Structure 1
Amino acid sequence: MLVFVRDFRNLFLLLVACLSLALPRLSHAQDELPDVLIKRISTEVLDTIRADKAIRSGDLSKVIVLVDSRIMPNVDFQRMTASAVGPAWRQASAEQQKRLEEEFKILLVRTYAGALAQVTTQTISMKPFRASPDDKEVVVRSEIKGAGDPIQLDYRLEKTPGQGFGWKIYNLNVLGVWLVETYRTQFSQEINAKGLDGLITTLSERNKSNNKKG
């Protein structure tokens, strides 16, 4: 049976929630350094979540709108899904790839709903950013500070070419654990046991079960 990430999911969600105000200033964000972008968005979003009782109460419909309109445009979700699936992604049909992206997205959105309500007095602290102007991929390191020990939150971003040029996130690290690598291990076990269709079925059943639980 596939065992999904649980121990750090709430921390991971807090991290991803910190991306949800990117679109209103997208044209400005295109000119920002990655660490400046993450810092600005994170600060704004923490303030917004605290002010929105519906999000804090776990209103899934509002969370879905938030993710679709504000977060996903700033994430290379196809790369994230492909990396999580691993080598088997290249053997997947277009329909299988589509289903995997859909079910993986639902899984993460459902996880968001359980975590957004936990934002209270946290603040963002950025660590020194080291990168060359020519770098196409970078790591932005930060911490969430509040009650208890600081929480390590890191982002891997890539520079995207063409119209809408800017930085997109393709992996997330919470307390030293990279999300994509964690899911890759779990997905690999499922693929080895049941194949790609088995993984899709497992994700779908997990999402249906979560939906019934509310």
Structure 2
Amino acid sequence: MMKRFLCCFLLMFATAAPAAFALDEKTPPDVLVRSVTNDVLTIVREDKAIQSGDTARVLGLVEERVLPHFNFRRMTMLAVGRDWRSATPAQQDRLTEAFKTLLVRTYSNALTQYREQVIDFKPTRMGATDTTVQVRTEVRQPGAQPIGIDYMLEKTGTGWKVFDVVVAGVSLVTNYRGSFGSEVRSNGIDGLIRSLEAKNSSLVSAQAGS
């Protein structure tokens, strides 16, 4: 379920139409989500390369347009949990890069599957001094129950960044924490790094052969 609906999240941040270029570090988080979402849905429905499953095209768009909206370091820190503190700075860097690659490789191809989604944006409660905000949406698609997707964003010096997404009540970072903890207990931080990098290599090979 997590994999199926997290791709909706990437869909919303995968690329941008010209209107999105007006967004900057002062753009409120709910406006950011709404603007990019509407632009992306239009483009994905019209982009024949994406619809035909062009992996290089999809990955290129994700690399260019998804990553600036994420705080992958904080996402990795939350997913690794308390074991993060025992990692050296070099290990933290490798963990962050490996986790980022895993997320992008795992979910980006799902962009080719989306056509008829309708996004309902819920009112966002936000105070003038808030630095962490939840942006709530609901994804509706034919033949399926609506799915709630909540975006957790934090205010940074370069604008609002996503550090977690909650799909139907399930947190992305929490979803990984159990397996990451088990790997660290069995093989240490380096074992977790090796495991993530091995998964990424397998995904690269699989996508290259598709």
Please give the TM-score of this superposition, normalised by the length of structure 2. 0.90
Using the TM superposition, name which of 144-153 and 203-212 deviates more: 203-212
Gap runs ≥5 in structure 2: none
Contact 1:63 1:112 in 2 (8 A): no
Deviation at 1:22, TM superposition (A): 5.7
Q: Classify 1:27/1:53 alpha carbon distance in 2 versus 1 (closer, same or farther; 3 Å).
A: closer
Per the alignment, residue 186 of structure 1 pairs with 179
Q: Classify 1:81/1:123 alpha carbon distance in 2 versus 1 (closer, same or farther; 3 Å).
A: same
Correspondence 1:150-169 to 2 at 5 A: 150-161=146-157, 164=158, 166-169=159-162
Deviation at 1:60, TM superposition (A): 2.4
Per the alignment, residue 63 of structure 2 pairs with 68
Q: Distance in 2 between matches of 1:116 and 1:70?
A: 13
Q: Classify 1:71/1:190 alpha carbon distance in 2 versus 1 (closer, same or farther; 3 Å).
A: same
Correspondence 1:20-169 to 2 at 5 A: 20-21=14-15, 25=20, 27-147=22-142, 148-161=144-157, 164=158, 166-169=159-162
Per the alignment, residue 12 of structure 1 pairs with 6
Contact 2:149 2:165 in 1 (8 A): yes
Structure 1 counterpart of 2:3, one-letter code: R
Per the alignment, residue 3 of structure 1 pairs with none
Q: What is the DSSP-based 3-state SS (H/G/I as helix, E as strand, rest coil) of the residue aligned with 1:45?
A: helix
- State the aligned residue count: 205
Q: Distance in 1 between matches of 2:119 and 2:24?
A: 18
Are 1:210 and 2:203 counterparts? yes
Structure 1 counterpart of 2:37, one-letter code: S
Contact 1:59 1:113 in 2 (8 A): no
Percent sequence identity over aligned pairs: 41
Please give the TM-score of this superposition, normalised by the length of structure 1. 0.88
Deviation at 1:29, TM superposition (A): 4.0
Q: What is the DSSP-based 3-state SS (H/G/I as helix, E as strand, rest coil) of the residue aligned with 1:128?
A: coil
Contact 1:143 1:151 in 2 (8 A): yes
Q: CA RMSD in A?
A: 1.8
Per the alignment, residue 169 of structure 2 pairs with 176
Q: Classify 1:158/1:23 alpha carbon distance in 2 versus 1 (closer, same or farther; 3 Å).
A: farther
Deviation at 1:26, TM superposition (A): 5.0
Deviation at 1:14, TM superposition (A): 1.5
